[in-house]
Every structure is written in C-alpha cells, then in structure tokens.
C-alpha cells in the first residue's frame, strides 16, 4: 500500500543551481523523496533542458516535465552581484545546495563553500562535475559522454564488430547524480551528530568507474581486458536475447545449473542438462555460441507471449524486451504503479515513471511536473528570502529576476 506522506525528506530545503541532467537529476531524487527543491534559473531562458526532447507537444519539453518535477522555479541572474546576493540569502536559509557548474564558477560568483558555510555552518554543498573539484582535469568542461568514455563504460558497450557504443540514455550524468544524492543523504545523517555540513564531490567519470565491477583488478592481477560482447557476457550461457516467431525478442537467463535443467525440460530436450557438453557452467561457457543457437532454434518456434508463459511455468527467468507501450500494458507495472500520471497545465495528464525506491511508511511522490519558468519566484523571495514587495519589484525592474 502506497504511503500518503510527503516523503522522508520533508522539511529539508534544497537550492538547485545548474542545468541539464547531472545536477538536476540529483535535485529530482531529493524532491521525489519530499525535500523542497528551489531551482534557480537564468531569467528569460531557464534551464536548456526545457528545450530538449525529440518531441515537444505544444512547445512543452516532456523531458523537462520529468527532471523538473517536484521543483519550484525561481529566476535570478547569478552573474550579477544582486542576483548572487539573492542566492546567498536563500542558501543561508536552506539545508542543501546542488550544483553542476564547472569547478570554480561558484567561487567566482562569491559562493564558494567557505563563504556559504560561514553564514550557514550546517550547509551541505553537493557538487557534480565531469572530473571532480580537484586534480589536473578539474577545470575541463565535463560532459556525461566523456565521463562514460574515461570511466570505462563506453569501451565495453556494443558489438565487438563495431566501435564502442553508447547506452541509449545519459547514463554518466544520471549515475553522477545518483552518487551525489547518496553522498548528500550521508552528509545529512552525519550532520545530526556534528551539526556541521560538508562538500559532496561527485565526478561523472568516477561515478561510471564506480559501477564497473572488477575490471581494474582483472587487468592488474590477471591481465584480462574485458571487451565488447554485444548481448552476452562471455562464458555465461545461456544468457542472451533470443528471437520469437512473431518477430519479437525475449531475454532468457538460464546459466545456473538448476535453471538450465529447467530450460532444457521446457525445450523438450531434458538430456541437454546431463550432456557433458553443457552439464556444467564452464562447459556451457566454452560452447556458448553453439548453445545459443540451440536455444534460438527453440524460441523462434513460439510467439513471445506463449514462450514467456511456457518458460515461467518451468521457473526459467525470462522477459520480453520492453518498449514504453509494453510497460503501459503490463499488469505488474500497473499493479505497482510503476508509471503514474500527473496533471500538466498545458498537456493534461502526463505519464512518467514513479518515484523509486519504495518506502513503506514515508514514501515519495510526484507532486507536480516540471514548473513554468519563474512560476515560484515571488512566492520564494517573499516566504524564504523575506524580501519586501518593493525590493522584489526593484529586482524585476532591473532584470535581476
């Protein structure tokens, strides 16, 4: 049963500065968990992500509706002394700042951590960048694609007959954001003991490196370099994508001895489980291509749905290769509310992924989609900044907001 709470981070205030994905996705995570996220954007233009996406129905970015969700938009020109003063005021009354500018930018704007923490000793500053806040590469422009390349991911993605490929999403940026969110939550917990904040330094290349399993010790100790292997893991079989009679694809993962025996039974060839060529994990790995061909000859005789039902009846891990249309009709997605809809002022009900992971008592929620540019400027400057109306009008008149 879904909780009706505002989320476990209710009561925390986050100032988000930065744009696109690496920083804002961290803000999205914190907002999904109930924090008040105030996004500072450039007047007139806002976050460039507002213009991103292959389709923009009625001029609205669907990408922004997801990454900008649960946030309040305040426009302020951070490149002016007046705008910087507004930001420092809001930050002095907040718990967390998330930013993904090039290292040194905040310092040039008079918002280095030393200065911010002097006004707010408990402040946590989450900094997401391509190469981190220190080291010889720290001043380089950092993009997710470069971090994916240098962190080791690009080299192992794709078919061995082609150059290194990319994953179809901005995985380097989102990984750095996830690690930034984890570090931020760790700093929030530590603050309950010390009363002090700290800097969370999340580098894209290190976030990618962090998920690369054992590639480093494999190379150093064994001299083994992982290579691109397409849809398989070398020497792990059968575990691959297989064709179906209706032109679809299913993924079957039956490399464990007991599971392979169940797959062999489902295929009508139970003797494969005791055949010396395939009876052990090592033997199946040595004959991976041959075994995959046998499994493919079996799967292509069945439609995807019938094949899935047959294998599930034999407790063989199997799953269709889903696209959005499959997700929207899947009974499990529906039962768990993995995809929800949220009202949008222009587009009506917009479907998007729910908040994850699930918490049993204080679950997160999607409260609204990405807001209009400057939608909350007056509200936040009045309630959080405690600026007078005359001052706000003056800010607006000179282009500060």
d(CA 77, CA 123): 22
Pick from 50, 384, 116, 382: which is nearest to 395 by CA? 382
Backbone angles phi, psi at 207, to 5 degrees: -65, -40
Report how far residue 77's alpha carbon sits from residue 46's, in angstroms, rounded to the nearest whole number.
10
Which of 243, 294, 251, 236 is CA-nearest to residue 269?
294
Selected catalytic residue, list 32, 47, 95, 173: 173
Handedness of CA 87, 88, 92, 97 (dihedral sign): positive
The CA R_g of the chain, rounded to the nearest whole Å, is: 25
Which helix H or strand E contains 91, and what residues bound it? helix 81-92
CA gap 159, 396 in Å, rounded: 54
Residue 71: exposure state from Cβ atoms within 10 A (0-12, 13-18, ≥19)? buried
Catalytic, 398? Answer no
Asked whether the beta carbons of 203 and 130 are under 8 A apart, the reply is yes
Using CA atoms, how far residue 227 sits from 152, 300, 305, 329, in Å, is: 11, 28, 33, 36
Separation between Cα atoms, residue 224 and residue 264, nearest integer Å:
32
Polymer length of the chain: 401
The alpha carbon torsion through 97, 98, 101, 103 (nearest 10 deg) reads 70
Residue spans of alpha helices (H) in 140-170: 144-150, 153-156
- In our burial notation (b when 16+ CB lie closer than 10 A, e otherwise), range 31-65 reads bbbbbbbbbbbbbeebbebbeeeeeeeeebbbbbb
Q: In what order do the strands lie in the sheet with 13-17?
A: 71-75, 36-41, 13-17, 96-99, 124-129, 199-203
Active site residues: 173
């Amino acid at each position: 049963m879904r909780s009706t709470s505002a989320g476990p981070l209710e009561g925390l205030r986050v100032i988000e500065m930065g744009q696109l994905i690496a920083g804002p996705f961290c803000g999205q995570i914190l907002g999904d968990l109930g924090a008040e996220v105030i996004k500072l954007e450039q007047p007139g233009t806002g976050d460039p992500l507002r213009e991103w996406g292959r389709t923009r129905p009625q001029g609205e970015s669907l990408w922004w509706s997801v990454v900008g969700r649960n946030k309040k938009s305040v426009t302020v020109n951070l490149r002016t002394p007046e705008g910087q003063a507004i930001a420092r005021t809001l930050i002095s009354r907040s718990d967390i700042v998330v930013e993904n500018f090039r290292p040194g930018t905040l310092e040039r704007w008079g918002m280095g951590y030393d200065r911010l923490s002097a006004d707010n000793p408990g402040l946590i500053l989450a900094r997401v960048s391509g190469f981190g806040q220190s080291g010889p590469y720290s001043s380089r422009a950092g993009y997710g694609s470069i971090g994916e390349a240098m962190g080791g991911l690009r080299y192992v993605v794709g078919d061995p007959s082609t150059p290194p490929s990319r994953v179809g999403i901005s995985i380097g940026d989102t990984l750095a954001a996830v690690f930034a969110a984890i570090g931020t939550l760790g700093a929030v917990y530590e603050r309950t003991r010390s009363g002090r904040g700290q800097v969370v330094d999340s580098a894209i290349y290190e976030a990618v490196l962090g998920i690369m399993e054992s590639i480093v010790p494999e190379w150093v100790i064994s001299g083994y370099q992982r290579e691109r292997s397409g849809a398989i893991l070398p020497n792990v079989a059968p575990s691959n994508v297989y064709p179906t009679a209706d032109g679809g694809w299913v993924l079957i993962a039956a490399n464990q001895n007991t599971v392979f025996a169940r797959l062999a039974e489902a295929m009508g060839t139970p003797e494969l489980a005791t055949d010396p060529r395939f009876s052990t994990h090592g033997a199946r790995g040595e004959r991976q291509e041959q075994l995959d061909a046998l499994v493919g000859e079996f799967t292509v005789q069945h439609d995807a749905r019938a094949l899935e039902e047959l294998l599930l009846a034999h407790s063989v891990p199997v799953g269709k290769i889903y696209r959005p249309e499959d997700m929207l009709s899947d009974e499990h997605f529906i039962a768990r509310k993995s995809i929800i809809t949220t009202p949008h002022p222009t587009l009506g009900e917009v479907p998007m992924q729910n908040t994850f992971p699930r918490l049993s008592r204080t679950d997160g929620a999607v409260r609204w989609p990405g807001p209009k540019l400057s939608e909350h400027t007056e509200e936040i400057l009045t309630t959080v900044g405690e600026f007078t109306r005359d001052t706000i009008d003056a800010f607006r008149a000179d282009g500060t907001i």
